Structure 1
Amino acid sequence: MSNRYLLEIGVEELPARFISGALNQLKGNFKNMLKNERIGYANVETYATPRRLVLIVDGLKEDQDTLEEIVKGPAKRIAYDSQGYPSKALEGFMRGQGVKEDQIFTKEYNGEEYIYARVIKEGKDTFTILSENVADIIKSIVFPKSMRWGGKNIRFARPIRWIVSLLNDRIVPFDLEGIKVGNTTKGHRFLGSKSIEINKVDEYFDKLEENYVIVDQNKRKEIIKYNSEKLAKEKGGNLLVDEDLLDEVTNIVEYPTPMIGRIKEEYLNLPDDVVITPMKEHLRFFPIVNDKGVLLPYFITVRNGNDQYIDVVIKGNEKVLGARLEDAKFFYYEDIKNPIEDYVEPLKNIVFQEKLGTLYDKTIRIRKLAKKIGDYLEVGEETQRNIDRAAYLSKADLVTKMVGEFTELQGRMGMEYAKHSGENEIVSTAIYEQYLPRFAGDDLPTTTAGSILSIADKLDTISGCFAIGIEPTGSQDPYGLRRQALGVINIVLDRRLNLSLGELIDFALYIYVEELGLVFDYAEVKNSILGFFNGRIKNMFSDMGIRYDIIDGVISTGIDNIYDLMIRANKLNEYFEKYGLTDVLSTFNRVTNLAEKSTSTEVKRDLLIEDAEIELYDGFNDIEEKVLNHLDKKEYDKALEQFIVLKEAIDNFFDKVMVMVDDEAIRENRLNLLGKISKTMLLICDLSKLVKQS
């Protein structure tokens, strides 16, 4: 018989954003329990609706696996008395392990004989194990926000109202602070039965669906997507799919019925974002566009129920959307009565951060930092003018009525208002692109001006926060500094920008001192910011498949050009993966270790006495210029190849030359030779960080 276990945790409506994490925890914790309790199974799956978290285990074994352990007891010398009878120590050991004297034996350990017992633990039945453990698994689920209710100690996202716990056709009872555990569930809140008896696991899904609950979230998602696309096609359009929105809608309905409503034509005269944002962000509606991406006067919404009285429901949704769009229309036309630059001055009244000044202060800092980045990248005069204009207008939309009501439109409305005010396309686009990327996997800026403005904005925030002691700790990152640092890194890599991160941080911090008179430990703050970025760089490079030791090796060079570090790490990673070269590492690590004692890189030819040191000196001189040429071209693998040519000469040097001789001049000269080699080698990678691969 194939055993199936069903656990259903019935709750008040869960927030959609909590469901995915809860299911991952439920599944992971349950699998860990089965493993720890030695219970075999075939598969574990989890499902959810707004009112229930569900777990089903297929192929459960009847019992725990039998466990045989060898347990170490007391030393033999104290296990028996003078007459050879078991001592109290041995009796206590046998009693504790539940064994008799014929089940023990002696074995030597560290030169002394000890008593050992072969302990066989028969497995409990699975029914008992489930009864003992399921309550703890439910308690272990952690939510971003939890609550207590009804005088209970358990914390959960929403009150638990019922629990179904069935092994095949048997109720598996457990105590969860008096919450009823049985085989009774509930259907759809309005369309289904208030009490549904599940007699066996195999009938669970069908009985729920008969009561207007589709438990499988993947099935609900497919229903929503298929039927929504069908409705859109009937109007000659296409569903504008947003996967995040689709997932959210899936998690807020139990029985989805998509329906199509109409938008008044007058609202389509507004910018698309003004129409789409209230639809998606506030009402969870899907827009419809034609084959060219033009917004059509229709929307899709999903009802949590059947199609009864659906015309009435559609009219109600049209009315709600109309009210939202009427507000948006009012805000938009009020805002465009003035050119966008008129909204810059009011930024003086909006605090960015108490110690970091107003949004106007931030605007001034961004302009200066963006100009510095533009100069560093040697952009043209016209591009520099566009960057400066975009920086000046970058935060203006934050004081408009539209963004005040729909904060999700920051940047987008800045772009729209800039275009309406006659600003050119580059300036307008850069105002929007300053916020990119907003989240993992988001679009990156497509223009040079937008890229530079985005970097300047993010670096200003990061530098200012670190200067006043606001740094991410654990899960706390109120200013999104991790996200912003990753944004800077992604933009630099995507645009292949050669920038000195250290110099830009220097300038960003200097602007804070110049503009606000901010006081802080300059060196300490700069090092903290660089360390913060290096942490993000390490994680990103690791995700690219680069070896951790090579990442450490290139970062240890002290180079702060992110794009250069990526090229360097990739090329060296490929080179070492291909050739291994573990013997090379030992050779050059000897150079590095002694080079630390050198005081200069000046080597005097006339103080070289031994043939081996002359050979090494001449060999290095032969490759030095080639190495530097390869470095200029970012050909780091070829630069490393030049150094590998020196391996034989270095090994010969260490075999035949005593470095630490009594003669100070000769000793210093030999150390300086090693120091010069090491310093040049460090321009490629700190090989001392690399680990031999087996």
Structure 2
Amino acid sequence: MAVNTLLIELGVEELPPGAIDTLSDALAAGIHRGLSDAEVPHGEVLAYATPRRLAVQVAALSDSQPDHEVEKRGPALAAAFKDGQPTKAAEGFARSCGVGVDQLIHLETDKGTWLGYRERQRGEATTTLLPGILQKAISALPVPKNMRWGASRVEFSRPVHWLVMLYGSDVVEAEALGLKTGRTTYGHRFHAPEAIDLTQADGYLAVMEQAWVLADRNQRRERIREQVLSEAEVQEAIAVIDESLLVEVSGLVEWPVALAGSFDERFLEVPAECLVSSMKANQKYFHLIDEEGRLKPLFITIANIDSIDPQRVIEGNEKVIRPRLADAAFFYDTDCKRPLDSRISELAGVVFQKQLGTLADKAHRSAAVAAFIAGRIEGNVAHARRAAELAKCDLVTEMVQEFPELQGIMGRYYAEQDGESPEVAQALEEQYLPRFASDAIPHSRTGLALALADRLDTLTGIFGIGARPTGTKDPFALRRAAIGVLNILIKGELNLDLRELLELAAAQHQELPYAENLVDEVLNYALDRIRAWAQDEGITAEAYLAVRARPVTRPLDFARRLRAVQAFSGREEAAALVAANKRVSNILAKQENDVGLQVDPYLLKEAVEQALHEAVSGHREQVMPLFAEGRYAEALDILATLREPVDAFFDKVMVMSDDPAIRANRLALLASLRALFLEVADIAQLQQ
């Protein structure tokens, strides 16, 4: 079989930058899936994309499916012949295979011998399969919003204008989205607008680059990064490259050219975050800072043209950004004319959730919980209550309504200006931490209390009205809220009882239609989220299940147990002790009555059971203080030394003695052994 390169390119009008990566990956995945399903051998599948094109290149694509052997099974041998002559069943089967009866074979199976036929079937040509594969791949694209154009009934994200499909140097004839395939593509809209006839599927990137198009999106992003860093160096500044902005800008250009501009220094009187948000959100500019991290009155824009007069392009961008920054300055000045706490009354007019009331209601509930938490973590109760009262006030400011991503940040600025306590001001920004699993947690005690209180209120409230998250829908981001609570408690080393906190948060709500079992439900939902955290920490699912089997309601305590069990599972003695715990668990589970922990030394007849009793008793004295202090790893290290007396006991002692008193005593000994390990986790689960 011969191999060659396949190139598919779909030419479109400018795609939404946020959809380019998704559509590009989906098209490549669809082509890859189609070729794999058809069993056509091929090499690497590469996805390319610009605002005006989606392309896929497949290396070393075979020109056909491989030949394969087809086996057909006919009637049973007993029914195929009678008196040595073929029956109608045999003749009919032979005709269906296009051969004579004498060319059929015998197939031996575990159910007997059958008449059969084998033939080698030639693989279908790849060029015959490609039209269907292309059509299916395009039909499956996750287009965010379809549109029609002209008189056509075809629908796509943007109007499509050309379709290329080359196998080597040959055009593969097909039709999709109302277009017939060809070899004609187009370069940069301004630098190379003429039609380009591709002669080969290979060398696509080089041909497009000659036409002022960087079709490889990763190459284009890195070109932008290099240019921004280089231009910043010329300006004696440091460029701040936001990766999400880099991706978005890359989706707006085919031939990036970085240009530096400036703005009036008077705008630097406005908080830097406001200016940066305006530059990023409105103009897609990269901002520059000095060595101390202070914003400089400079920006870098990415043009989609290599202008013969770049200064005019720069001046145009400077002219555009000026009113944007003026708007930001106006919003800031307007907001500063009122103290932040004057907006508390406005929160009563903003609905948090129809059944849970307004933001004012949420603030009132959160204040009680935050104050309680602050008291428990040696924070300032008054600060926590004040921070909760002000927490959502910046949501009704001009600046945050224009730039929602500045919530919390502006709260801090306005609180500082009003002369609020520095810790209260800091907490207003920290309330949204952590924003994602690996994000930092609040630094201040007031911030910790407020961040917890806000999330606990949301969790109990939304669960309480029955709006529980599902595997596919979580409109209130409850999963993120639960993970945030866990991260704060664990990373912040706050050994608080989550059940107690949830009970307090739930009690702040006036009426919840699903209040019954609410705390247990939210608690279990949160503790189930620890599994993902544990996985990120390199802790096995078995270790998680071992700890989860115990009634642990303090996430920090849960995490300490997890780390201890994970470390224990790697010890040489672990396997034997896990098996012993499993065995003990099974024995105790079969007893009709509960087995006590009280052992009568006088009923211990065998030396090995006496030795085990002494070991268990001695170890209990050592580990109980460690359990009380949460030093589980040290405790399990001590308990690991029980392996020898446990092994000796099971080797030489019959637990289920005929003597009821001795049997009960031995069961109590095993129960006391298991109880020691259960102080940490059900390590019997590790055997799974």
Same fold (TM over 0.5): yes
Distance in 2 between the 1:343 and 1:633 partners?
46
| Alpha carbons of structure 1 residues 256 and 463: separation in structure 2 relative to 1, 3 Å | same
For 1:466, the aligned partner's letter is F
1:530 to 523, 532, 541: 523
Superposed counterparts of 1:38-117, under 5 Å: 38-68=39-69, 75-81=76-82, 83-85=84-86, 88=89, 91-92=92-93, 95=96, 102=103, 104-109=105-110, 112-114=112-114
Partner of 1:220: 220
Matched, 1:575 2:571: no
Say yes or no: does 1:233 pair with 2:249. no
User: CA separation in 1, counterparts of 2:27 and 2:36?
Assistant: 14
Distance 1:173 1:672, change over 3 A: farther
Kindly indicate whether residue 564 of structure 2 is the aligned counterpart of residue 601 of structure 1. no
Measure the CA separation in 1 of the matches of 2:270 and 2:280.
Answer: 16
Q: In 2, distance between residues paired with 1:19 and 1:440?
A: 27
Which amino acid is 2:676 matched to? T
Q: 1:444 to 1:371 in 2, by over 3 A?
A: same
Counterpart for residue 123 of structure 1: 123
Q: How far, CA to CA, are the matches of 1:103 and 1:575 in structure 2? A: 64
Are positions 1:517 and 2:511 aligned together?
yes
Tell whether the 8 Å contact from 1:99 to 1:117 is kept in structure 2 after alignment: no
Deviation (angstroms), 1:159: 4.2
1:418 is the counterpart of 2:415: yes
SS of aligned partner of 1:39: coil
Correspondence 1:612-651 to 2 at 5 A? 614-647=610-643, 649-650=645-646
Cα distance in 1, alignment partners of residues 290 and 184 from structure 2: 48
Change in 2 beyond 3 A, CA 1:90/1:146: farther
Gaps of 5+ in 1: none
The one-letter amino acid of 1:621's match is: S
Mapped to 2, the partners of 1:97 and 1:18 lie a distance apart of 53
Shift of 1:118: 4.5
Residues 371 and 616 of structure 1, relative CA distance in 2, 3 Å threshold: same
Q: What is the root-mean-square deviation of aligned Cα atoms in Å?
A: 3.1
The equivalent of 1:372 in structure 2 is 372
Kindly provide the CA deviation profile for residues 390-431 of structure 1, in whole angstroms up to 9, marking residues without a partner as x. Answer: 222111111111112221111010010011111233221111
Secondary structure of 1:333's match?
Answer: helix
2:430 match: 433
Shift, 1:320, TM fit: 2.4
CA distance in 1, matches of 2:103, 2:573: 56
Aligned residue for 2:675? 679
Q: Percent identity of the aligned residues? A: 33
- One-letter code aligned to 2:297: P
- Label 1:434 to 1:74 Cα distance change in 2 as closer, same or farther (>3 A): farther
Q: Secondary structure at the match of 1:40?
A: coil
Q: Deviations over 1:608-664 (max 9, x none)?
A: 46436555444322222223233345443443344444445555358633538684x
Q: Which moved more, 1:132-141 or 1:562-571?
A: 562-571
Residue in structure 2 matched with residue 585 of structure 1 by the alignment: 578
TM-fit CA distance, 1:9? 1.9
TM-score when normalising by structure 2: 0.90
Q: Distance in 1 between matches of 2:282 and 2:468?
A: 32
Whether contact under 8 Å (1:62, 1:126) holds in the other structure is yes
Which deviations, in whole Å up to 9, do the C-alpha atoms of 1:175-211 show, x marking residues without a partner?
Answer: 3353332222233334432633222223533443343
- Using the alignment, how far apart are the partners of 2:152 and 2:664 within structure 1? 76
**Pair 623,199 (structure 1): closer, same or farther in 2 beyond 3 Å:** same
Separation in structure 2 between the aligned mates of residue 680 and residue 153 of structure 1, nearest angstrom: 73
For the 8 Å contact 2:372–2:381, the answer to whether it is kept is no
- CA contact under 8 A between 1:213 and 1:254: conserved in structure 2? yes
**What is the distance in 1 between the residues matched to 2:309 and 2:43?**
44
Would you say 1:486 and 2:483 are equivalent positions?
yes
Q: Which residue is 1:10 aligned to?
A: 11
What does 1:442-461 correspond to in 2, within 5 Å? 442-461=439-458
CA contact 1:27–1:45 (8 Å) conserved in 2:
yes
How far did residue 539 of structure 1 move?
Answer: 2.0
Structure 1 residues 578, 607: closer, same or farther in 2, change over 3 A? closer
Post-superposition offset of 1:98? 9.1
Match among 384, 396, 401 for residue 398 of structure 2:
401
Conservation of the 8 A alpha-carbon contact between 2:655 and 2:666: no
Summarize the alignment of residues 264-343 of structure 1 with structure 2, pairs less than 5 Å apart.
264-343=264-343
In 1, are the aligned partners of 2:527 and 2:555 still within 8 Å (CA)? Answer: no
Between the aligned partners of 2:520 and 2:74, the Cα distance in structure 1 is 54
- Aligned 8 A contact 1:38 1:64 in 2: yes
Stretch of structure 1 that moved more, 416-425 or 168-177: 168-177
CA distance in 2, matches of 1:371, 1:90: 90
User: Is the 2:173–2:180 contact (alpha carbons within 8 Å) kept by the matching residues of 1?
Assistant: no
1:253 shift after superposition: 1.1
8 Å CA contact retained: 1:599, 1:672: no
Residue 202 of structure 1 is matched in structure 2 by: 202
Q: What is the CA–CA distance in structure 2 between the aligned matches of 1:99 and 1:163, rounded to whole Å?
A: 49
Conserved? CA contact 1:73–1:90, under 8 Å: no
Q: Cα deviation per residue 1:239-264 (whole Å; 9 max; x = unaligned)?
A: 12111111110111112122222211
Q: Is the 8 A contact 1:366 1:457 kept in 2?
A: yes
Q: Give the Cα–Cα distance (whole angstroms) in 1 for the partners of residues 455 and 403 of structure 2.
A: 22
Change beyond 3 A, Cα 1:353–1:151: farther
Paired letter, 1:54: A
**Structure 2: gaps (5+ residues):** none
In structure 2, the CA distance between the partners of 1:335 and 1:672, relative to structure 1 (3 Å rule), is same
